[in-house]
Structure 1
Amino acid sequence: MKNIVTSPLANLWGVMLLGIVFLAATAHAATEAPVRVKDLGKLQGWRENALVGYGVVTGLAGTGDAPTNRSTKQALANVFSQFNMTIAPEQVQSRNVAVVMVTAALPTFAREGDTVDVTVTSAGDARSLVGGTLLLTPLKAPNGRIYALAQGPLSVGGYRYDANGNVVQKNHPTVGAIPAGATVEVGTDANMVDARQNITFVLSEPDYTTANRVANAINAQLGAALAEARDASGIQINIPEAQRGHAVRFFSRVENVTVEPDRRAKVVINERTGTVVTGGDVRLAKVAISHGDLKISIVTDHTASQPMFVGYGYNPGVRTAIVTNSRVDVEERNSPAFVAATNNTVADLVQALAQMKTNTRDIISILRAVKAAGALHAELVVQ
């Protein structure tokens, strides 16, 4: 009986090549399909506002905070005081209650009566929030003003049950959510226009070439010199006097302007999944690649040692023994893989290596070496 173990660094020519998801653009950056301006960024002032609150979850089946938790006692006593019930915190004894932190994000444009999702997290030593209900909780912004009120039953995507020292748990039962659980009490309205009747469009990925193209596209498609690129991320746009009473209509026209963005050469490698992704037409300089192969095998033989005269009563202590013999075999190929890349793309290189049955780990190592040699004209990102 033989067991063969191969080193993970070996090039397994007899095993199916690990899958590589290789996504490459076949056209040059200049022939990229036009995209809308709104897909490249957003107007300055478009942002969400963080809200946070401190509340109490009730209705837990003995999985709440411990009776010795002073913050829970005080919080529950405060709740009772709102209903003209005076109870000292020391008299509160319950494991069906938990103190929690409540968070939400207020949209850029919110009206009174709108609802937003909230996230509830345990702030004490509760074991689980399953089955709990959040009591009315005010949500405040960093300026201390209350903008929303949250309340409702929790939706927890997990559980925890324990008995006699045995614990069964799935996901995080101390975190829950309430879809549309907060009602906006104070609306918000973002101011996109400055004192000079200008708006600023901000690119998600700053790039001087793309910013210049966006400004030129807006001027060409709107028929006036309205836009100017101020830096790599900001394009200042002046609102025409005739459009200032119809700002929404003008914003819509700007968002739907089409432009051909410039793509920065980038190669992304994910070692965990064996994925190689390249953006744009990433090319290679003249480079020669030689990659050897080393195979290490550990062979184990199991044999039975059968002594003479077993069973005849001459020596009751004599037994059959299993003897294990192992040996290490190292095999190195004399003809290493050789690839000559002359003004090719990364896609061409990966396809050539795949045809030579090079595994994923070796392809990633080769791309790193090519980058170190200065032949890969792109940013190499390893995840």
Structure 2
Amino acid sequence: MLKFLATLTGALLAVCAPTLAHAERVRDLGQFQGVRTNQLTGYGVVVGLPGTGDDNLEYVTQAMKGVSGRMGLTLPPGVAPGLKNAAAVMITADLPAFAKPGQRIDVTVSTIGKAKSLRGGALILTPLYGADGQIYAMAQGNLAVGGLDASGKDGSKVTVNIPTVGRIAEGASVERAVATGFDAGDTLRWNLFSADFLTAARVRDAINSKVPGIASVEDGVTLALRMPGDPDSRASMMAAIEMIEVSPAETAARVIVNSRTGTVVINSAVRLSPAAISHGKLTVRVEENDRVSQPGPFSNGRTAVENRSNVSVEEENRSVALFKGGASLSKVVDALNMLGVTPSDLVAILEALKQAGALKAEMVVI
């Protein structure tokens, strides 16, 4: 009983002591709801390419007609201009929280057709749209391309990095701000990056220890924070909350298996019940050594093929690894190394331990 009380006391101290060696800041565990980036996309045309564009593709022609129309130039009907110096592109950008009109953001430009390279090109003024279909920024500028593409008349070709993707630093001007809800209402919500009731409770207790009574848990992810209405006071309180240190709960026991690369990752929370493992490899080898039998000279015999097969079986001698109850990650790794298992064998062993009920962890195959 005394041991249990001591353990419980230690757990409570871990909750109330945010300055432990493994403590993390609140800002590293989650973020305030609404304070987030927003994705913007746009469709445009890059011009000025040295013959590495999309040539006479129809959608580039349509795009150039639209651009020409905005400039007051109308192309005659039926005219299909050669546009090997232009390329149709998609523009993507991230609009930061609290971005205001007039501020600049970076944009990434990628080809969507057969253009070989965007090196030396310039993006024509292009609107960038949000998920609601509204224009939030306008992009234009010269591209910086890190890739290189060169080819010869005989078909030889050299490509360095990716020449069909470029970037324009501060290439877009923000035209519309996104509402974040920062100054709406008297309650602001804070969300964990990963759902965990214990971590949410520890964050609540840490915040209430600094400012009593302002934090309450809504679910395994969200905390409701009662904040002052004044924007200056609210921003100061948010900054103070983000710097509070909390000791998060230990992550759930989990084994991650990448079926494509054979990578296996076991976190430190994995434990094993008592189990014994014997893993060996059985190899069956079949060799065919056909022999040709020739008839004697001037005989009426015929050449025949005599089948000769050699079948052998090899089985590696492997020792048995015994896991005691509560074996830690280091002991699991040491024992499996003693068995000399490969990544694919390790997956088979872990699956067998899971089926036997000895592996106390969730297996995730990606």
- Per the TM superposition, whether the score is higher than 0.5 is yes
> Matches of 2:132 and 2:231 in 1, distance apart?
31
Deviations 1:132-178 (A, max 9, x none): 21112122223443322211222334344445572626354333222
The CA deviation at 1:185 is 2.7
Partner of 1:282 in structure 2?
270
Residue 318 of structure 1 is matched in structure 2 by none
Deviations for 1:187-206, whole angstroms, at most 9, x for unmatched residues?
Answer: 345223542x1111101111
Instruction: State the distance in 2 between where 1:281 and 1:162 align.
Output: 54
Aligned match of 1:255 in 228, 242, 248?
Answer: 242
| 1-structure distance, mates of 2:70, 2:183 | 44
* Residue number in structure 2 paired with 1:124: 113
CA distance in 2, matches of 1:286, 1:274: 26
For the Cα contact (< 8 Å) 2:252–2:269, is it kept in 1?
A: no
Match of 2:129 in 1: 140
Q: CA deviation at 1:329?
A: 4.1
Structure 2 stretches of 5 or more lacking a match?
A: 1-10, 15-19, 293-307
After TM superposition, list the pairs within 5 Å mapping 1:1-383 onto structure 2.
33-67=22-56, 69-88=57-76, 90-91=78-79, 92-164=81-153, 166=155, 168=157, 170=159, 171-195=161-185, 197-220=186-209, 222-240=210-228, 245-262=232-249, 263-270=251-258, 275-295=263-283, 329-333=312-316, 336-383=319-366
**Aligned-residue RMSD, C-alpha:** 3.3
Inter-CA distance 186–240: structure 2 relative to 1 (3 Å threshold): closer
Residue of structure 2 equivalent to 1:12: none
TM-score by length of 1: 0.76
Whose helix fraction is larger, Structure 1's or Structure 2's?
Answer: 2
Offset at residue 326 of structure 1 (A): 8.8
Preserved contact between residue 199 and residue 238 of structure 1 (Cα < 8 Å): yes
Residue 199 and residue 84 in structure 1: after superposition, are their counterparts in 2 closer, same or farther (change >3 A)? closer
Structure 1 residues 39 and 328: alpha-carbon distance in aligned structure 2, compared to 1, 3 A threshold: farther
Contact 2:267 2:329 in 1 (8 A): no
Q: Distance in 1 between matches of 2:35 and 2:231?
A: 19
Rounded Cα–Cα distance in structure 2 between residues aligned with 1:119 and 1:135? 14
Select the structure with the greater relative contact order (CA < 8 A; seq sep ≥ 6): 1
Aligned counterparts of 2:357 and 2:113: Cα–Cα separation in 1: 54
The amino acid that maps onto 1:191 is: G
- Taking structure 1 as reference, are residues 292 and 106 closer, same or farther at Cα in structure 2, changes over 3 Å only? same
Q: Number of residue pairs matched? A: 334
98 and 289 in structure 1: CA distance in 2 versus 1, 3 angstrom threshold:
same
The residue type paired with residue 96 of structure 2 is P
Residue number in structure 2 paired with 1:320 = none
Cα deviation, residue 354, structure 1: 1.1
Cα 1:214–1:273 change in 2 (3 A) is same
SS of match in other structure, 2:182: coil
Partner Cα distance (1:272, 1:93) in 2: 44
- Identity score, percent: 39
* Contact 2:273–2:323 (Cα < 8 Å) also in 1: no
Q: TM-score, normalised by structure 2?
A: 0.79
Distance 1:334 1:356 in 2: 10
Range with bigger deviation, 266-275 or 362-371: 266-275
Unaligned segments of structure 1, at least 5 residues: 1-27, 306-324
CA distance in 2, matches of 1:272, 1:70: 39
Alpha-carbon distance in structure 2 between the residues aligned to 1:270 and 1:286: 27
Report the CA distance between 1:184 and its aligned residue: 1.7
1:363/1:70 CA distance change after superposition, 3 Å: closer
CA contact (8 A) 1:341 1:349 kept: no
Contact 1:200 1:235 in 2 (8 A): yes
Report the residue type matching 1:354 in the other structure. N
